[in-house]
């Protein structure tokens, strides 16, 4: 009887040890993100390889929906880490709930960034910039040729009647990419002239998409001739499809900044802190070089994307961290 009891206790000890080990593998880290599919797949693969003991889950949520969800759920959200939240949207959330994001300034070195992307740190360190995305257009040369159109070179070209029904852009109300294109024209022309421009452009728009990547995919499939999109995605698609060409209207590009951070209170979870430490200190820098190589870091490496252009100028964007400025622009947008 004593031998049976001893064997039982030994087995119980082994099972308990196994449960503890397995338990660490089921510690979950939930990441809400508005990033594109390609980047999510890469980050998920790298994080799972780095932390096989954690269950790392990405929830893909559109730009506008991500703001609404975080605002509605507050600190009770299942989200541990947010990633690729547009900077002005991060400010919108902080305005309504100043304590929702953990203060990163006490744990992380912000001197790794270039000064222009850390302008907001004069006020707080509630998030970090995880990417700068230039915006441009991509054209399908075959579709343009079949329609008897030349490749547009200026913003004014897009207003020509021959481009009617050939252009797709993301809606500024649901897409950071669309908003950057919109704000780029406002920053260049002034709000009144920009609104006049978009009123004319609307005549040629086939569709305003909710997704920032949808126009590029439509151009790639030959469904439209011209799509507004992120530069890195436009280049990536053009590298794979010789029918496509990246075009900088007026030789310039708009841009947007995106952020990452931790929901306040979640930093006490070891798994969350481990994942974010790696993301902040190592993985995001590699991600930038692979996917959105527009410079945010001091000493940031060259783009790994083939044929990534450098011969263009960036528009001096207004209100990059000013959510009231953005809200005013969106209130005046009436086409989608």
For 173, the token pair is 């109300």
- Best CA proximity match to 133, nearest among 84, 206, 199, 75: 84
Max CA-CA distance within the chain? 93
Q: Do domains 21-131+257-290 and 133-255+307-331 have the same CATH topology?
A: yes
Going by C-beta distance under 8 Å and a sequence separation of 6 or more, which residues neighbour residue 40?
33, 58, 60
CATH of domain 21-131+257-290: 3.40.190.10
Query: pLDDT tens, 265-288?
Result: 999 999 999 999 999 999 999 999
Q: Which fold has domain 133-255+307-331?
A: D-Maltodextrin-Binding Protein; domain 2 (3.40.190)
Residue 192's pLDDT is: 97
159 exposure class (CB count in 10 Å sphere: 0-12, 13-18, 19+) = middle
User: 283, 81 in Cβ contact below 8 A?
Assistant: no
Q: What is the pLDDT confidence band of residue 25, given thresholds at 50, 70 and 90?
A: low
Name the pTM for this structure.
Answer: 0.84
Half-sphere CA count of 8, side-chain side, radius 13 A = 5
Residue 10's pLDDT is: 45
Query: pLDDT tens, 131-175?
Result: 999 999 999 999 999 999 999 999 999 999 999 999 999 999 988
Residue 15's pLDDT is: 43
Query: pLDDT tens, 51-95?
Result: 999 999 999 998 889 999 999 999 999 999 999 999 999 999 999
Helices (H), the chain: 2-25, 37-50, 63-73, 87-96, 141-146, 176-189, 191-201, 214-220, 231-240, 270-278, 284-290, 323-331
**Domain locations in the chain?**
21-131+257-290, 133-255+307-331
């Amino acid at each position: 009887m004593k031998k049976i009891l001893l064997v039982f206790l030994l087995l119980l000890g082994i099972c308990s040890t196994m449960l503890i080990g397995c338990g660490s593998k089921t510690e979950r880290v939930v990441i809400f993100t508005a990033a594109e599919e390609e980047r999510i797949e890469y980050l998920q693969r790298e994080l799972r390889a780095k932390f096989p003991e954690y269950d790392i889950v990405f929830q893909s949520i559109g730009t506008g929906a991500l703001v609404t969800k975080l605002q509605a759920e507050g600190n009770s959200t299942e989200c541990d880490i947010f990633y690729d939240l547009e900077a002005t949207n991060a400010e919108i959330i902080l305005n309504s709930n100043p304590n929702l994001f953990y203060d990163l300034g006490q744990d992380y070195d912000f001197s790794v960034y270039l000064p222009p992307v850390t302008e907001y740190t004069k006020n707080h360190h509630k998030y970090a910039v995880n990417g700068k995305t230039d915006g441009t257009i991509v054209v399908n040369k075959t579709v343009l040729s079949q329609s008897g159109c030349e490749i547009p070179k200026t913003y004014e070209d897009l207003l020509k009647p021959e481009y009617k029904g050939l252009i797709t852009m993301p809606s500024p109300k649901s897409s950071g990419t669309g908003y950057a294109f919109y704000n780029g024209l406002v920053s260049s022309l002034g709000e009144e002239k920009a609104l006049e421009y978009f009123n004319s452009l609307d005549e040629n728009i086939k569709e305003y998409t909710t997704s920032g990547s949808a126009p590029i995919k439509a151009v790639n499939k030959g469904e439209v001739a011209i799509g507004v999109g992120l530069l890195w995605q436009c280049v990536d698609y053009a590298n794979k499809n010789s029918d496509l060409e990246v075009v900088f209207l007026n030789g310039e590009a708009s841009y947007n900044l995106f952020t990452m951070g931790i929901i306040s209170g979640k930093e006490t979870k070891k798994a969350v802190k481990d994942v974010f430490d790696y993301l902040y200190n190592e993985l995001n820098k590699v991600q930038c070089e692979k996917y959105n190589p527009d410079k945010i870091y001091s000493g940031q490496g060259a783009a790994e994307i083939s044929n990534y252009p450098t011969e263009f100028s960036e528009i001096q964007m207004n209100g990059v961290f000013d959510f009231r400025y953005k809200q005013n622009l969106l209130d005046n947008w009436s086409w989608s």
